Amino acid sequence: MSGRLAIFGGTFNPIHKGHIRLAQAARDEMGLERVLLIPTWTPPHKESPDLAPSQHRLAMCRLAAEGHPFLEVDDLEIRRRGRSYTIDTVEELGRREPGRELVLIVGSDMLLTFHQWRRWREILERVTLCAACREPAIQQQVEDYARRLEGEGYRCRLLTLPPLQLSSTQIRRGIADGTLPPGWLDDKVEAYIREHGLYTGKKEEGKR
């Protein structure tokens, strides 16, 4: 029988080493067969004025996934358009892969707002949540939140990997002002950003 399949959604604007490291840790600690990287069309939870067009975010995810056979890029939310609600994605994958055990990978910022997600209880009835802490200062809060979900009968696993404070926001800023530290992006992704002039602050973004 086929193994566990993970959903890893995000704006990936752009995809960075923190994302790949999280997916690898989830694979190792949760025994995952595959991780689906699913770039959102419109994220429901945040304002994204500098969201790069979806074809660029998708292309960067594909470049970052190269050389990681367990990573697969899925454009289902981009094809679906509209607001990208996770419950719709979970239901779609449930239809596509019936009987398959699903895991949902999130960082702690997403975990701590989980009860605000659309039909969050239904999501948790269908998946095992797998979360990683992004900032040492909120470790206890994250553990308490996870235990509360478990206390309500849901499955929630916290990964043991130490926090890495790295975000797409920092990367976009670093590119715009020329201070991007080395090693935050996959080399191919960094070259793609340069080639297409993304995140320079000179308004190529804006259309999806």
46 CB-near residues (< 8 Å, 6+ apart): 11
- Minimum CB distance to ligand ATP, residue 109 (Å): 5
Q: Please state, in angstroms and as integers, the Cα–Cα distance from residue 45 to each residue in 30, 91, 118, 152, following that order.
A: 26, 19, 10, 24
In the shown chain, the binding pattern of residues 95 to 134 toward ligand ATP, with x for contact by CB under 6 A and - for none, equals -----------xx-xx---------------------x-x
From candidates 169, 187, 191, 197, binder to ligand ATP by CB under 6 A:
169
Rule CB under 6 A: is residue 184 a binding residue for ligand ATP?
no
Give backbone dihedrals phi and psi of 183, rounded to 5 degrees, phi first.
90, 0
Cα distance between the two ends of the chain: 39
Tokens found for residue 175:
């590119």
Least distance from ligand ATP to the Cβ atom of residue 164, Å: 5
Q: Are 171 and 184 in contact (CB under 8 A)?
A: yes
Number of other CB atoms surrounding residue 117 within 10 Å: 18
* 24 versus 98: smaller Cβ distance to ligand ATP: 24
Q: Name which of residues 6 to 65 contact ligand ATP (CB under 6 A).
A: 10-13, 18-19, 22
Residues that bind ligand ATP (CB under 6 A): 10-13, 18-19, 22, 106-107, 109-110, 132, 134, 164, 166-169
